């Protein structure tokens, strides 16, 4: 195996240790709570959680237990995502117990593998004749992809070859089944994932066959005659998921046209961002300009027309999908946690291809809002769906909100989000820096230590400060390189001005060289250099594009990377009656005892109040009609204070109303 090309673009996770004011808490939770708890759930040892069956399925397939397959068709991927998270944790710190559990699991996985390399407990146990007969629906290659990602991460963490040998045999077998040669299946998975995984496997093993197979899956996608129509006929119209028509709703799986001809964000949101990640990876390895161009077009479609202000994506529960340009309802939103995680994957890959702060800004927006919202402060409950407006009184009453939960759930029958949060946070160190040529890019301001190895020496960087709440960053750099290097520091999209000092000397505005949203500083770095950044962190009143129906007349508050929201706990019921005056005062205040320590925003506000003003008041008591004009309803505005909290922290104080968008009162 060679040193993979990826080393030219991102830092090995091992080289980055996070010690951050905001993130350390969550990363510690992943290590101490989430991943151990997941292991118990996967082993069906948590009485109050629905049985996962995931480990047991592997044991049965390995011949170690008797029984039947349980869970979803993609249940194997839960084990893989857990293993991947474990691998990242091992890359950043030893843990004998976790490693022992992982090794034990890997032994079982290896035994569950068929002699020909095939590995999938659903088909092994439940449909042994059904292998590769329903790619549109049955997630076979998706599960393979997750196992490959886990294997690569585990090998990188431990150097142990067992699981990577398993997935190489599996990938070799897949390569023997799929392809354009006569006698091979020219299909591809309904749920993209293997594409990006195969590039990882290629980068770690150096085996080009895996890259070519990834490229093949992407090239084949959406070609005509359509593979899903043919396989549907061949299996006599057998359907796995009755609620959706995956074999024919081609946009759902982004197979409605060849990937290079796609320029709109459609279909299942997670599938799209996983596919785009794979496309960016293949483009990076092959220099395929048309693939990169499609990535750019769909990125633009997402972030300029189909994304919530929280970087949530997918505005519809049905199909967990994108809908139409500017259709972003707040209360029926889907905005799956996994989709925003996938958006981070995609953005991170685009940053490796063409560093530009637009990618990093969205990565940050997703991370500090929808992703961290996905997990409770205690790491024990999770959101799958991340709405921007909630009235818990309607749950169980109006079916359009059936997918929304007013409080985080302990586990899920389809448990994709919690392990996805775990593997993202366990590998967060990967997303902070990238290297391109002689430039080190700082995309995220997350405290901790990083080591960058150049050909002519190394950098040690210590990042510190209170970026998330105060916009303060300190970078202490110790360099041994013999040649000049450039450090590129992202200017956040919420920041209108930045103060920079290098070893106490201000870098004046006119001296600041800004490229694609990054301040670049090029020099021969000394043994010890200190860079201080102070980003202006005003409270911003954000408005939506005029075509956005659901934000018309409303504002959302943002401060630093955080989008804010109103909760009933602070503001009483009927949040829709509150309005923020155009020129009203806004004040940020750090409240250490609230929700683990957050900066709240206190706003001058007006509450609409209505009283009956006609004879009815006397007749019927002080009740208001359902509809009335000025002769029957007396409306006035009462001054009050509204308290906003960061969106990610909502629903940690019981059930209540929440809203991100609030009416603005123009003067």
> Which residues are part of the catalytic machinery?
320, 416
The structure tokens listed for 290 are: 């048309």
The binder of a second copy chosen from 47, 128, 504, 546 (CB under 8 A): 546
The structure tokens listed for 19 are: 């010690």
CA distances, 98 to each of 83, 219, 342, 443 (Å): 9, 39, 26, 30
Per CB under 8 A, 245 contacts a second copy: no
Provide the minimum distance between the beta carbon of 246 and a second copy in the complex, in angstroms, as a whole number.
Answer: 15
The binder of a second copy chosen from 176, 304, 413, 524 (CB under 8 A): 304
> 496-525: which residues touch a second copy (CB under 8 A)?
496
CA 340 and chain centroid, separation: 3
The binder of a second copy chosen from 498, 548, 603, 649 (CB under 8 A): 548
Provide the minimum distance between the beta carbon of 417 and a second copy in the complex, in angstroms, as a whole number.
Answer: 21
Provide the minimum distance between the beta carbon of 458 and a second copy in the complex, in angstroms, as a whole number.
Answer: 36
- Smaller CB separation from a second copy, 76 or 567: 567
CA distances, 523 to each of 126, 357, 448, 484, 640 (Å): 62, 22, 23, 5, 53
d(CA 177, CA 131): 11
Query: Going residue by residue from 322 to 361, which x/- string records binding to a second copy, judged by CB under 8 A?
Result: -xxx-x-x--x-----------------------------
Q: What is the C-alpha R_g of the chain?
A: 26
DSSP collapsed to 3 states, 21-72: CCHHHHHHHHHHHHHHHHHHHHCCCCCCCCCCCHHHHHHHHCCCCCCCCCCC
Taking Cα atoms as reference points, which of 378, 375, 382 lies closest to residue 414? 382
**What is the H or E stretch that residue 299 is in?**
helix 289-305
In a 13 Å sphere around the CA of 164, the CA atoms on its Cβ side amount to 21
DSSP 8-state assignment for residue 381: -
- Smaller CB separation from a second copy, 49 or 542: 542
Per CB under 8 A, 565 contacts a second copy: no
User: How many residues touch a second copy (CB under 8 A)?
Assistant: 60
The structure tokens listed for 124 are: 């092994």
Cis peptide before 225 (omega within 30 of 0): yes
Angle subtended by helix axes 289-305 and 269-286, to nearest 10 = 150
User: Are 457 and 438 a contacting pair, CB within 8 Å?
Assistant: no
SS3 319: helix
- Smaller CB separation from a second copy, 527 or 627: 627
Provide the minimum distance between the beta carbon of 480 and a second copy in the complex, in angstroms, as a whole number.
Answer: 38
The structure tokens listed for 505 are: 């000397």
The binder of a second copy chosen from 33, 177, 185, 394 (CB under 8 A): 394
| Candidate segments 33-41, 79-87, 441-449, 541-549, binder of a second copy by CB under 8 A | 541-549
The binder of a second copy chosen from 1, 3, 100, 400 (CB under 8 A): 400
d(CA 188, CA 122): 18
Paired residues of 453 in beta bridges: 458
The binder of a second copy chosen from 534, 542, 595, 617 (CB under 8 A): 542
| Candidate segments 187-195, 523-531, 553-561, 639-647, binder of a second copy by CB under 8 A | 553-561
Chain length of the chain = 667
Residues 6+ apart with CB under 8 A from 217: 141, 178, 188, 189, 194, 195, 198, 278
| Candidate segments 20-28, 106-114, 472-480, 537-545, binder of a second copy by CB under 8 A | 537-545
Query: Going residue by residue from 470 to 499, which x/- string records binding to a second copy, judged by CB under 8 A?
Result: --------------------------x---
Angle subtended by helix axes 269-286 and 208-220, to nearest 10 = 130
Query: Going residue by residue from 258 to 297, which x/- string records binding to a second copy, judged by CB under 8 A?
Result: ----------------------------------------
Taking Cα atoms as reference points, which of 576, 595, 570, 592 lies closest to residue 649? 595
d(CA 370, CA 421): 11
Provide the minimum distance between the beta carbon of 9 and a second copy in the complex, in angstroms, as a whole number.
Answer: 26
Provide the minimum distance between the beta carbon of 667 and a second copy in the complex, in angstroms, as a whole number.
Answer: 9
User: Are 333 and 387 a contacting pair, CB within 8 Å?
Assistant: yes
| Candidate segments 131-139, 219-227, 423-431, 548-556, binder of a second copy by CB under 8 A | 548-556
Paired residues of 530 in beta bridges: 476
SS3 328: coil
Torsion of CA 58, 64, 65, 68, to 10 degrees: 40
Provide the minimum distance between the beta carbon of 227 and a second copy in the complex, in angstroms, as a whole number.
Answer: 25
Provide the minimum distance between the beta carbon of 463 and a second copy in the complex, in angstroms, as a whole number.
Answer: 27
Provide the minimum distance between the beta carbon of 483 and a second copy in the complex, in angstroms, as a whole number.
Answer: 32
d(CA 497, CA 109): 53
- Smaller CB separation from a second copy, 423 or 663: 663
- Smaller CB separation from a second copy, 502 or 655: 655
Provide the minimum distance between the beta carbon of 327 and a second copy in the complex, in angstroms, as a whole number.
Answer: 5
Per CB under 8 A, 541 contacts a second copy: yes
SS3 224: coil
The binder of a second copy chosen from 540, 588, 603, 645 (CB under 8 A): 540
> 102-131: which residues touch a second copy (CB under 8 A)?
none
SS3 138: coil
The binder of a second copy chosen from 68, 318, 509, 511 (CB under 8 A): 318
Query: Going residue by residue from 569 to 598, which x/- string records binding to a second copy, judged by CB under 8 A?
Result: -----x-xx-x-------------------
d(CA 543, CA 660): 11
Query: Going residue by residue from 155 to 194, which x/- string records binding to a second copy, judged by CB under 8 A?
Result: ----------------------------------------
Per CB under 8 A, 461 contacts a second copy: no
Provide the minimum distance between the beta carbon of 510 and a second copy in the complex, in angstroms, as a whole number.
Answer: 16
The structure tokens listed for 187 are: 């299909």
Provide the minimum distance between the beta carbon of 225 and a second copy in the complex, in angstroms, as a whole number.
Answer: 25
Query: Going residue by residue from 618 to 637, which x/- string records binding to a second copy, judged by CB under 8 A?
Result: -----xxxxxxxxx-x-x-x
Per CB under 8 A, 317 contacts a second copy: yes
Provide the minimum distance between the beta carbon of 303 and a second copy in the complex, in angstroms, as a whole number.
Answer: 7
| Candidate segments 2-10, 88-96, 314-322, 344-352, binder of a second copy by CB under 8 A | 314-322
Helices (H), 324-408: 337-353, 357-365, 372-373
The binder of a second copy chosen from 180, 261, 293, 398 (CB under 8 A): 398
- Smaller CB separation from a second copy, 70 or 612: 612
- Smaller CB separation from a second copy, 408 or 607: 607
- Smaller CB separation from a second copy, 278 or 560: 560
CA distances, 318 to each of 207, 315, 337, 402, 405 (Å): 40, 9, 16, 11, 16
User: Are 242 and 257 a contacting pair, CB within 8 Å?
Assistant: no
For a second copy, the binding residues (CB under 8 A) are 303-305, 307, 309, 315-319, 323-325, 327, 329, 332, 391, 393-394, 397-400, 496, 540-549, 552-553, 556, 558, 574, 576-577, 579, 608-610, 623-631, 633, 635, 637, 663, 665-666
């Amino acid at each position: 195996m060679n040193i993979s090309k990826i080393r030219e673009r991102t830092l090995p996770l091992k080289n980055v240790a996070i010690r951050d004011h905001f993130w350390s808490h969550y990363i510690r939770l992943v290590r101490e709570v989430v991943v151990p708890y997941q292991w118990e759930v996967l082993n069906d040892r948590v009485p109050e959680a629905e049985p996962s069956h995931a480990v047991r399925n592997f044991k049965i397939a390995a011949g170690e237990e008797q029984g039947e397959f349980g869970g979803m068709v993609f249940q194997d991927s839960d084990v893989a995502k857990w293993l991947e998270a474990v691998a990242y944790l091992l890359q950043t710190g030893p843990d004998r117990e976790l490693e022992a559990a992982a090794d034990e699991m890997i032994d079982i996985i290896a035994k569950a593998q068929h002699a020909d390399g095939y590995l999938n407990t659903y088909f092994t146990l439940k449909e042994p004749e059904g292998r590769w007969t329903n790619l549109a629906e049955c997630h076979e290659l998706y599960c393979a992809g997750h196992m490959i990602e886990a294997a690569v991460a585990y090998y990188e963490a431990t150097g142990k070859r067992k699981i990577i040998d398993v997935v190489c045999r599996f990938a070799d077998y897949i390569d023997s089944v799929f392809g354009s040669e006569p006698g091979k299946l020219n299909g591809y998975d309904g749920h993209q994932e293997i594409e990006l995984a195969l590039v990882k496997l290629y980068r770690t093993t150096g085996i080009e066959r895996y890259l070519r197979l990834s490229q093949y899956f992407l090239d084949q996608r959406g070609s005509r005659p359509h593979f899903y129509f043919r396989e549907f006929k061949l299996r006599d119209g057998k359907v796995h998921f009755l609620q959706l028509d995956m074999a024919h709703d081609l946009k759902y799986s982004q197979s409605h046209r060849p990937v290079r001809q796609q320029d709109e964000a459609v279909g299942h949101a997670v599938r799209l961002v996983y596919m785009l990640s794979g496309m960016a990876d293949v483009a990076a390895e092959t220099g395929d300009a048309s693939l990169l161009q499609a990535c750019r077009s769909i990125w633009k479609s997402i972030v300029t027309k189909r994304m919530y202000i929280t970087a949530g994506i997918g505005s519809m529960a049905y199909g967990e999908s994108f809908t139409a340009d500017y259709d972003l309802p707040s209360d029926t939103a889907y905005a799956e946690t996994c989709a925003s995680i996938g958006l981070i994957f995609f953005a991170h890959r685009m940053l490796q291809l063409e560093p530009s702060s637009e990618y990093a800004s969205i990565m940050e927006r997703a991370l500090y809002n929808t992703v961290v919202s996905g997990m409770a402060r205690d790491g024990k409950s999770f959101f799958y769906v991340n709405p921007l407006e909630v009235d818990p009184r309607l749950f169980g009453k109006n079916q359009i909100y059936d997918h929304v939960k007013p409080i985080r759930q302990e586990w899920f029958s389809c448990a994709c989000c919690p392990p996805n949060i775990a593997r993202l946070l366990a590998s967060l160190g990967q997303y902070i820096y990238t290297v391109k040529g002689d430039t080190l890019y700082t995309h995220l301001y997350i405290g901790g230590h990083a080591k960058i190895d150049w050909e002519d020496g190394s950098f040690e960087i210590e990042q510190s400060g209170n970026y998330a709440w105060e916009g303060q960053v300190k970078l202490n750099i110790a360099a041994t390189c013999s040649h000049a290097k450039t450090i590129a520091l992202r200017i956040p999209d919420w920041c209108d001005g930045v103060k920079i000092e290098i070893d106490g000397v201000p870098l004046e505005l006119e001296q600041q060289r800004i490229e694609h949203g990054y301040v670049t500083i090029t020099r021969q770095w000394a043994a010890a250099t200190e860079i201080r950044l102070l980003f202006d962190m005003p409270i911003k009143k954000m408005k939506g594009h005029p075509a956005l129906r659901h934000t018309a007349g409303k504002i959302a508050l943002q401060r630093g990377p955080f989008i804010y929201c109103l909760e009933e706990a602070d503001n009483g019921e009927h949040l829709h009656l509150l309005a923020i005056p155009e020129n009203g005062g806004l004040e940020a205040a750090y409240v250490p005892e609230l929700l683990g320590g957050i900066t709240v925003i206190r706003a001058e506000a007006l509450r609409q109040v209505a009283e009956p003003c006609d004879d009815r008041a006397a007749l019927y008591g002080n009740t208001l009609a359902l509809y009335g004009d000025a002769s029957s309803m007396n409306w006035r505005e009462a001054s009050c204070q509204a308290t906003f909290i960061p969106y990610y922290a909502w629903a940690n104080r019981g059930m209540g109303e929440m809203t991100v968008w609030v009416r603005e009162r123009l003067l």
